[in-house]
Structure 1
Amino acid sequence: MSPIIPVIFATLSPVILLIVLGFFLREKNFLPETFFTQLNKLNYFIGLPSLLIAKLGGAGTNLGAVLPLIMSLIAATFFAVIISVMIAYLVKSDKAEKGALIHASFRGNLAYLGLPIIIYFFEGKTELHGFAAICLAPLILLYNTLAVFFLIIFSKKEQKISPKIFIGKLITNPLLIGCAIGTCLSYSSISPIALKPFELVGEFALPSALIALGASLRLDRLKGKLLLPGIASVIKLIITPLAGYLIGFYIFNLSADHLKLIMIFLATPTAVASFVLAEQMDSDTDLAATSIVLSALLCFIPIAIILAL
């Protein structure tokens, strides 16, 4: 047996089990629906920002060293967008379906799934944890900007959004605030003891975020036509991480660990936020919901392959 197999199993098995636990806790009504809503809120506003502060503040991240990773991630995301736009016009789809297809093809679940897998797999490698955390900020900005742009263009109704409101929502995003605070602390002489509370809250955030993610998955949404969600999942789980590998290896000459890091992020399933935004922007919610569930069910196959590289 290859020595990497036990490592992959040790990394992915707790992630999968926690997601399954969250799914069954909600499915069997063991806990009220409001519990998972509040747990998700706690993670989004407190848990994950604390984790980012702890990882960035204690890593002394070199922004120059992480820049090639960020550029690789951005380039691969734009590649996914270009491919999905082309396919959206090639296949038979209405305006709302085009927007939902494009959105589902590039927006990954970075904080709730990508970050835990990276932290578990690269256990003890604090520099890589810091690199992963700092990569989140530009990707969150990019994802939100592209999502609003395409969902406005392909909305069923004419949509208008105030630039002031949009920018306000971006700069008050808790994950971005956590990245900003952590980055500032990484350049200070703050004592590790001062970061301990953030570490403790962050340690809670990892498993609870996975439970909340599992609770958000609803198999009853896996219905209707699967062609477009299937296309979105192939782009998201296979084409995008492959593009990231080629860009990172041939253009930015990334190391093996750095390539794995960006590919894990790029192979994460479609973010649950894509369904919420599809509702708000009058896009195709059925396509968005089906893409989320389908990509979540399939994502561990490419992620396991990436970890084995």
Structure 2
Amino acid sequence: MNSLWGTIIEVLGVTLPVFVVIAIGYFIRRKKIISEEHVPVLNKLTYNFGLSSLVFIQISKNKFSDIFNAGLIKVIFPSYFTYILIIFCAFFFTKIKIRTRSAIIVSSFRNNMAFIGMPVLLYAFGRLASAKASVVIAILLPLNFLLTAIFFQVFSIKKAGSGTGSSGLKTAGGDSSAVSSQAAISNETGKINAGKLLKEMLLDPVVIAVAAGILVSYFNIRLPKPVINIFDILSDIAVPLALISIGASFKFFHIRSNFKYITIVSAAKLIFFPLIAFLFGKYVFKLESLDLISTCILFATPVAVATYIQAQKYDADLDFISSAIITSTILTMTGWLFFLKVLSPL
């Protein structure tokens, strides 16, 4: 019993500060310390500089053999595609509104691994777990980006074909950059432009940071101390800014009207997605403890805020996505962190 309470206290010690900082971000926006117009800027600053620096420095400071595990790769792909296939088949042929259907499917597999998963792993299990998480993120980030664009584009074309929408596009406040981004992944005929989509994906700052970090780690390159200090300073802002930006992005609208499907999405992310990874990792590929924990925690993370940002390029249901972000953030991860702590204590 003492061990159980000790584990509960340990888990709360990791997750409670994370959610408190998220709540601080929410009240900062509510009190208009930062305006709503500044929230996207905060998200971009966190993603482009803080998160990219954190990912790079975490990978580059560890030996390549410590963070790269072929078994980890074997678990990620079957878990990821099995889950997406099930979710897609479950919702694609339903009679839910097309724009909501696309939001449900994408919200079900887009995980906030970087802004939520990495801080939890860093504080719960240390830098090595965080570095291993970076490799998982490196693999899944381009896939998430690609599949999100494809799903939204497919449903956008489907909606246009059904006559339920005119342009299939929606921008926040008439933001021309959203239209520009949309042009980067589709051509005038409504077909996916694979070349431009690939270019946009490869130029993502986190993808670049991961690739650079892997090169430094693999070739055991010794970075000059001033360079390390610069990335250390920038990486220190990643976690607090990421959590604050998530809180500042929260909007408690339309949760009640979408309660049924938000509950399904949250349950899928909390139980089904990490459970698939757990079964593949523990019983099929026999992952070591830290690799198994890192993978399951990352797969149990809530809907990524970037999903909302990317959805603005299409006529997706933004209200559903924002509600799913809030609900899944509140419900996910704590249970799996507790379960894995009990099952595989480190």
TM-score of the aligned structures, taking structure 1 as reference length: 0.91
Instruction: Please give the alpha-carbon distance, in whole angstroms, between the structure 2 residues aligned to 1:208 and 1:276.
Output: 17
Instruction: Please give the alpha-carbon distance, in whole angstroms, between the structure 1 residues aligned to 2:306 and 2:81.
Output: 19
Instruction: Please give the alpha-carbon distance, in whole angstroms, between the structure 1 residues aligned to 2:19 and 2:76.
Output: 25
Q: Deviations over 1:216-236 (max 9, x none)?
A: 111124241322222122112
Where structure 1 has 5 or more consecutive residues not aligned to the other structure, the ranges are none
Instruction: Please give the alpha-carbon distance, in whole angstroms, between the structure 2 residues aligned to 1:64 and 1:27.
Output: 40
Q: Secondary structure at the match of 1:206?
A: helix
Instruction: Please give the alpha-carbon distance, in whole angstroms, between the structure 1 residues aligned to 2:36 and 2:101.
Output: 32
Instruction: Please give the alpha-carbon distance, in whole angstroms, between the structure 2 residues aligned to 1:297 and 1:254.
Output: 28
Query: What does residue 137 of structure 1 align with?
Result: 138
Please tell me whether the aligned partners of residues 84 and 232 of structure 1 are also in contact (alpha carbons under 8 angstroms).
no
Query: What does residue 67 of structure 1 align with?
Result: 70
Matched, 1:182 2:248: no
Matched, 1:224 2:224: no
Matched, 1:28 2:31: yes
Identify the match of residue 251 of structure 1 among 266, 270, 284: 284
Q: Secondary structure at the match of 2:69?
A: helix
Q: CA deviation at 1:252?
A: 1.4
Matches within 5 A, 1:97-136: 97-123=100-126, 126-136=127-137
Change (3 A) 1:35 1:98: closer
Q: Secondary structure at the match of 1:62?
A: helix
Please tell me whether the aligned partners of residues 73 and 266 of structure 1 are also in contact (alpha carbons under 8 angstroms).
no
> Radius of gyration: which is bigger?
2
Q: Deviations over 1:15-52 (max 9, x none)?
A: 11110100111112123334433322211111111111
Instruction: Please give the alpha-carbon distance, in whole angstroms, between the structure 2 residues aligned to 1:273 and 1:221.
Output: 19
Q: CA RMSD in A?
A: 2.1
Corresponding letter in the other structure for 1:69 = L
Moved more, 16-25 or 129-138: 129-138
Instruction: Please give the alpha-carbon distance, in whole angstroms, between the structure 2 residues aligned to 1:84 and 1:261.
Output: 23
Matched, 1:285 2:318: yes
Q: CA deviation at 1:188?
A: 2.9
Q: CA deviation at 1:64?
A: 8.4
Matched, 1:169 2:172: no
Q: CA deviation at 1:73?
A: 2.4
Query: What does residue 328 of structure 2 align with?
Result: 295
Q: Secondary structure at the match of 1:16?
A: helix
Query: What does residue 232 of structure 2 align with?
Result: 199
Q: Secondary structure at the match of 1:70?
A: helix
Query: What does residue 275 of structure 1 align with?
Result: 308
Please tell me whether the aligned partners of residues 76 and 243 of structure 1 are also in contact (alpha carbons under 8 angstroms).
yes
Q: CA deviation at 1:199?
A: 1.8
Q: CA deviation at 1:14?
A: 1.4
Please tell me whether the aligned partners of residues 55 and 129 of structure 1 are also in contact (alpha carbons under 8 angstroms).
yes
Please tell me whether the aligned partners of residues 80 and 236 of structure 1 are also in contact (alpha carbons under 8 angstroms).
no
Matched, 1:149 2:180: no
Q: CA deviation at 1:192?
A: 7.0
Where structure 2 has 5 or more consecutive residues not aligned to the other structure, the ranges are 162-189
Instruction: Please give the alpha-carbon distance, in whole angstroms, between the structure 1 residues aligned to 2:208 and 2:216.
Output: 12
Instruction: Please give the alpha-carbon distance, in whole angstroms, between the structure 2 residues aligned to 1:15 and 1:178.
Output: 24
TM-score of the aligned structures, taking structure 2 as reference length: 0.82
Query: What does residue 266 of structure 1 align with?
Result: 299
Corresponding letter in the other structure for 1:163 = A
Q: Deviations over 1:192-230 (max 9, x none)?
A: 734232122112211111111111111124241322222
Please tell me whether the aligned partners of residues 255 and 320 of structure 2 are also in contact (alpha carbons under 8 angstroms).
no
Q: Secondary structure at the match of 2:290?
A: helix
Corresponding letter in the other structure for 1:175 = V
